[in-house]
């Protein structure tokens, strides 16, 4: 029997993705476990594996197609000798979610009728916009993007009232990319289509800057003691083998940040409308630049890990991030971020908070410079770090307290090896 | 001992109440109906259905007196009025028994008696007292109570039904003899239908309306055409009428009326008072609760909830429009919400209204005047049935289909029809309006030929590029 291969949800938040590459051709024999395709999601490239043997029958969604909704049929597998159906046979897939069963017997509280069978909506391919003809026409006239609306009609159909409600919203938050007033420069240019990652960066950071009241606190931190410790520790490493390690300054700063978060846990927080969420673990998101964007793999519970563990983990995360092979849980859900641009000689900079985190630490280059110590001038390696903070979650004094804690750890770094 | 505790108790077994019970049973809620009189309510027993049976008879009488137009000849055509009335009653009885059967099949117990809310709660559950013939009331309990007690004829002072000369709809449905002359006061759906029935059976009928036109809720053009058609049939129509004090005589009534300053006295064997209805809000335990009553109707929100949590009101009791299909739809919505389903509040501009006089009248949504009043720029289409082949072939050329579109969006704001079979056709426009189709989809729809419904298509085209056949 022909089996539809559906666009998989590779992370809990994934709603659509791009078919980066098909690795099988139509007519190829497929064995269970073979990689069929690479899917590019908002932050990573992942592989789709075959879950049974068969013949790769037909590609329904060509390579390079973007915005393919989760659960959309993307290819058809058939059995040896079986004809490939012209289109996907609806009942052939076992993966498609079934419509929600009738909520028989459920009696809602008397006061408020409760809401919808969400699963019913999920059973529809997410890329098909179900809207009444009238809703479509009004949307076109009033420039309302139907794909951004949630329908309130039967089975989530977008109806007139939904479009009118959307059109009545003040255009306070223009969607990213909708800067109608700013004409593009008129000189020669070329148009590069956005990658999924670029779209996500644009959306998330616009949201962050638009909704989070940022403030910034900077501090100079001397690195000499930390670098001396690093040399001593690295000298302990075996030259090669499983136990070999080479600590970077960044590895040590990850741990320093994690320890500072334990000392000032108010910064290890998320602001929500109802309450402040204080996180137990210090899960440090580390910004890694890529050719076409950036990604923030997470060193989980960095406060409880040894420098060696952190170093090995970070190394693995970075290399897999650059290869686009991170799993969603490896880059989603950190509690605090570090962005280090020291290697570029940056004097100082401020980063944008990534919600739902409350703060991000921007680390600039360490530079040998004169510092006043007591009444003497000496030379030290100094870097400027800047903490960007969500003011809803953390106030200025708390941010300063955290930075002091961080500086103290870095300047007296033995705490890192305790 | 039979069950006394339910998820839902419905008080009233009319088209609101019994439908609520059936839907609740479908959704696996335990449910009971309390009915004091007869299942099916006014609709089945004293309203929609028996009047349709009578109107069918009067339609046949009309045709029998129009036989030469179709090439027939018959002498001595006559009718037995008692049999016509008896047939109407039989139809009601059959349907009422049908409702009883449906409830039985759905295993919904029906409590015979007068249901009344008891303000106190029993373990957080609503109490309903059912009493019958003065016996000690039975107490039922439920988490939810749906009030569906309906409405009755409004009684104006001086026009109290006396069972002899002054009738409400009830007496008008079961007359002993055919009156030779009749005055109908009130030209809404009820008054108009009785005027049509009795006129087509041969009575002299005068239709009296206080407002400036008959069928005041319909589009003004439809009102005018209806009046013209009635007058052609020999119904005397008085509008903007001031009615004086009715006097009873030995053989009937005399009613002084003044129209445009001109005084007149209407003399007739019978008078039908059809001046609206009032909700049955009394003796159902609303006193002392948070349930509000406004001008004889229970105040509800869009989901039929009253001021008391767990108590709902649907149908005529909950206010206009007083239509069985509105009651049934509210019943389904209300029960589905109770069952935790997502529901959509009823938009009154999507409820069709039908009047079964001859010619029939049907409409949905905004009249042209109401649309303009609401601030719409409109496009109006009209198509007369005289240009429709099927209507001509049927010998029913009188009528008009009128559409009102929003000029800006193409939304079908309203549709208004007068003519043969329009009550069977209005649903097409109701679907279009509910499904939010625009003129484009309607224009693209292929209507079958030859049907009167082609006029519906033409009336859409007429609002835009022009009708093809007119």
Q: Establish if A102 touches chain B: CB-CB under 8 angstroms.
A: yes
Contact A107 B343 (CB under 8 A): no
Answer for the pair B340, A106: CB distance below 8 angstroms, yes or no.
yes
Which of B51, B365, B356, B390 is closest to B226 using CA atoms? B356
Among B65, B101, B344, B449, the active-site one is B449
DSSP, res B465: T
What is the chain A residue with the closest CA to B125? A110
Q: What are the tens digits of pLDDT across the range A372-391?
A: 988 899 999 999 999 999 99
User: What are A70's two structure tokens?
Assistant: 């989760």
Torsion sign over Cα A148, A297, A17, A9: negative
Closest B-chain CA to A153: B344
CA dist., res. B139 & res. B34, Å (int): 12
- The CATH superfamily assigned to A214-417 is Chloramphenicol acetyltransferase-like domain (3.30.559.10)
Smallest CA–CA distance from A105 into chain B, residue: B28
Q: Per DSSP, which regions of A29-111 are E strands?
A: 29-30, 35-40, 45-49, 54-59, 68-69, 73-78
CATH fold label, A130-168: Dihydrolipoamide Transferase (4.10.320)
Residue A141 contacts B where some CB pair is shorter than 8 Å: yes
Q: pTM of the prediction? A: 0.62
Q: Is B133 left (phi over 0), alpha (psi -120 to 50) or beta?
A: left
Whether B465 has a pLDDT exceeding 60, the answer reads: yes
Cβ contacts of residue A127 below 8 Å, gap of 6+?
Answer: A16, A67, A68, A69, A72
Q: Which residues of B are annotated as a binding site for NAD(+)?
A: 186-193, 209, 276
Q: Judging by DSSP bridges, how do beta strands A214-222 and B311-313 pair with one another?
A: unpaired
Identify the architecture of domain B359-463 in CATH: 2-Layer Sandwich (3.30)
Cα–Cα distance measured from residue A229 to residue A415, given in angstroms and rounded to the nearest whole number: 11
Please state the domain extents for chain B: 5-153+278-348, 166-273, 359-463
Query: How far apart are the C-alpha atoms of B35 and B10, rounded to whole Å?
Result: 9
B27 to A102: CB separation less than 8 angstroms, yes or no: yes
Q: Which two tokens stand for residue A288?
A: 């890694």
Cα separation, B177 vs B167, whole angstroms: 13
CATH number of B166-273: 3.50.50.60
- Closest residue, chain B, to A102 (C-alpha): B27
Nearest Cα to A364, choosing from A389, A342, A332?
Answer: A342
B29 touches chain A (CB under 8 A): yes
Assign domain A3-88 to a CATH class: mainly beta
Predicted pLDDT at A104:
40
When pLDDT is cut at 50, 70 and 90, the band that residue A273 belongs to is confident
Asked whether the domain spanning B166-273 has the same topology as the one spanning B5-153+278-348, the reply is: yes
Q: pLDDT, tens digit, for every residue of B327-372?
A: 999 999 999 999 999 899 999 999 999 999 999 999 999 999 999 9
Q: At what angle do helices A224-235 and A249-263 cross, to 10 degrees?
A: 120
B28 contacts in chain A (CB < 8 Å):
104-105
What is the CB neighbour count within 10 angstroms for residue B165? 18
**Residue A43's closest CA among A305, A268, A240, A330?**
A330
pLDDT in tens, A197-252: 888 888 888 888 888 999 999 999 999 999 999 999 888 887 777 778 889 999 99
A87 contact partners, CB below 8 Å, separation of at least 6 = none
Whether residues B440 and A133 touch (CB distance < 8 A) is answered with yes
Contact A159 B436 (CB under 8 A): yes
Q: Which of A194, A214, A279, A391 is catalytic?
A: A391
pLDDT bracket for residue A102 (50, 70, 90): very low
SS3 A254: helix
Using CB atoms, pick whichever of B340, B411, B438 lies closest to residue A108.
Answer: B340
pLDDT at A183: 64
Q: Which residue bears the tokens 């039989």? A: B90
Over residues B8-23, mean pLDDT: 98
Q: Which helix (H) or strand (E) holds B88?
A: helix B81-105
Nearest to B412 by CA among A141, A133, A142, A161: A133
pLDDT at B313: 98
Tell me, what DSSP letter sits at residue B408? T
What would the pLDDT profile of B153-207 be if each residue is shown by its tens digit?
999 999 999 989 999 999 999 999 999 999 999 999 999 999 999 999 999 999 9
What are the residue boundaries of the structural domains of chain A, listed by start? Answer: 3-88, 130-168, 214-417
A391 catalytically annotated: yes
Alpha helices in A297-417 (DSSP H): 307-322, 328-331, 396-411
Who among B303, B411, B436 is closest to A113 (CB)? B303
Say whether pLDDT at A308 is over 50: yes
Domain B5-153+278-348's class? alpha beta
Give the closest of A103, A141, A152 to B341, CB-based: A103
Instruction: State how far residue A148 is from chain B, nearest Cα, in angstroms.
Output: 20
Confidence at residue A69, expressed as pLDDT on a 0 to 100 scale: 83
A contacts of B436 (beta carbons < 8 Å): 132-135, 159-160
Partner A contacted by B346 (CB < 8 A): no
Give yes or no on whether A130-168 and A214-417 have one common fold: no
**Cα dist from B6 to B10, B25, B139, B185, B447, whole Å:** 10, 11, 12, 44, 48
Strands (E), A51-204: 54-59, 68-69, 73-78
- The β-bridge partners of B166 are B271
């Amino acid at each position: 029997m022909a089996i539809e291969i559906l666009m998989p949800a590779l992370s809990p938040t994934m709603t659509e993705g791009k078919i980066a590459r098909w690795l099988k051709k139509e007519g190829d024999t497929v064995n269970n476990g073979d990689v069929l395709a690479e899917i590019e999601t908002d932050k990573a490239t992942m592989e789709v594996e075959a879950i049974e043997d068969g013949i790769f029958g037909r590609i329904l969604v060509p390579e390079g197609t973007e915005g393919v909704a989760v659960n959309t049929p993307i290819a058809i597998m058939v059995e040896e000798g079986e004809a490939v159906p012209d289109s996907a046979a609806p009942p052939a897939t076992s993966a498609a979610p079934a419509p929600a069963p009738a909520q028989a017997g459920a009696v809602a509280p008397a006061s408020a009728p409760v809401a919808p069978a969400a699963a019913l909506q999920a059973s529809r391919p997410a890329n098909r916009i179900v809207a009444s003809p009238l809703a479509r026409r009004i949307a076109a006239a009033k420039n309302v993007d139907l794909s951004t609306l949630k329908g309130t009609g039967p089975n989530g159909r977008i109806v007139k009232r939904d479009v009118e409600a959307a059109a009545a919203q003040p255009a306070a938050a223009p969607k990213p990319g909708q800067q109608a007033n700013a004409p593009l420069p008129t000189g020669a240019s070329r148009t590069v289509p956005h990658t999924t990652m670029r779209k996500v960066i644009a959306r998330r950071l616009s949201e962050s800057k638009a909704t989070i009241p940022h403030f910034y606190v900077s501090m100079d931190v001397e690195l000499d003691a930390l670098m001396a410790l690093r040399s001593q520790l690295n000298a302990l490493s075996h030259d090669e083998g499983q136990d070999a390690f080479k600590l970077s300054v960044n590895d040590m700063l990850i741990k320093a940040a994690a320890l500072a978060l334990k000392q000032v846990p108010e910064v290890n927080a998320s602001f929500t409308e109802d309450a402040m969420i204080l996180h137990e673990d210090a899960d440090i998101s580390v910004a890694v630049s890529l050719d076409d964007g950036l990604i923030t793999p997470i060193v989980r519970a960095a406060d409880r890990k040894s420098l060696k563990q952190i170093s090995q983990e970070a190394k693995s995360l970075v290399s897999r991030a650059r290869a686009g092979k991170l799993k969603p849980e490896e880059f989603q859900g950190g509690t605090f971020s570090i962005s280090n641009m020291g290697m570029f000689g940056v004097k100082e900079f401020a980063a944008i908070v990534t919600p739902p985190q409350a703060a991000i630490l921007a680390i600039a280059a360490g530079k040998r410079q004169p510092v006043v110590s007591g009444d003497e001038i000496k030379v030290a390696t100094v870097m400027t770090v800047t903490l960007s903070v969500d003011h809803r979650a953390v106030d200025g004094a708390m941010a300063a307290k955290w930075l002091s804690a961080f500086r103290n750890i870095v300047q007296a770094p033995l705490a890192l090896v305790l | 001992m039979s069950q006394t505790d339910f998820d839902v108790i419905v008080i009233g077994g009319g088209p609101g109440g019994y439908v609520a019970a059936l839907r609740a049973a479908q959704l696996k809620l335990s449910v009971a109906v309390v009915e004091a009189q007869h299942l099916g309510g006014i609709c089945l027993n004293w309203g929609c259905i028996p009047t349709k049976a009578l109107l069918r008879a009067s339609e046949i009488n009309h045709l029998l007196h129009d036989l030469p137009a179709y090439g027939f000849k018959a002498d001595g055509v006559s009718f037995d009025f008692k049999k016509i009335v008896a047939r109407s009653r039989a139809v009601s009885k059959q349907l009422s028994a049908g409702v009883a059967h449906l409830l039985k099949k759905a295993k919904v117990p029906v409590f015979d008696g007068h249901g009344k809310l008891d303000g106190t709660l029993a373990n957080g559950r609503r109490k309903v007292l059912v009493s019958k013939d003065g016996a000690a009331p039975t107490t039922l309990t439920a988490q939810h109570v749906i009030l569906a007690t309906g409405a009755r004829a409004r009684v104006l002072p001086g026009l109290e039904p006396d069972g002899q000369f002054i009738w409400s709809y009830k007496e008008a449905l079961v007359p002993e003899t055919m009156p030779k002359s009749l005055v109908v006061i009130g030209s809404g759906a009820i008054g108009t239908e009785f005027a049509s029935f009795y006129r087509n059976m041969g009575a002299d009928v005068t239709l009296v309306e206080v407002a400036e036109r008959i069928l005041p809720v319909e589009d003004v053009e439809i009102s005018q055409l209806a009046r013209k058609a009635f007058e052609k049939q020999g119904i005397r129509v008085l509008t903007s009428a001031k009615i004086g004090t009715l006097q009873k005589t030995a053989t009937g009534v005399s009613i002084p009326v003044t129209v445009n300053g001109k005084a007149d006295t209407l003399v007739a064997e019978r008078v039908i008072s059809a001046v609206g209805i009032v909700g049955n809000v009394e003796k159902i335990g609303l006193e002392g609760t948070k349930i509000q009553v406004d001008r004889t109707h229970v105040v509800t929100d869009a989901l039929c909830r009253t001021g008391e949590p767990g108590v709902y009101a649907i149908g005529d009791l909950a206010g206009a429009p007083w239509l069985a299909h509105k009651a049934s739809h509210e019943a389904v919505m209300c029960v589905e919400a109770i069952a935790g389903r997502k529901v959509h509040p009823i938009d009154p501009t999507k409820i069709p209204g039908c009047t079964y006089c001859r010619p029939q009248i049907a409409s949905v949504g905004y009249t042209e005047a109401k649309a303009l009043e609401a601030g719409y720029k409109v496009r109006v289409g009209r198509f007369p049935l005289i240009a429709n082949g099927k209507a001509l072939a049927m010998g029913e050329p009188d009528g008009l289909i009128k559409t009102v579109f929003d000029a800006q969006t193409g939304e079908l704001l309203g549709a208004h029809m007068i003519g043969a079979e329009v009550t069977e056709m209005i649903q097409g426009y109701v679907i279009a309006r509910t499904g939010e189709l625009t003129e484009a989809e309607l224009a693209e729809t292929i209507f079958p030929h030859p049907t009167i419904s082609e006029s519906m298509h033409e009336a859409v085209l007429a609002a835009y590029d022009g009708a093809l056949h007119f």
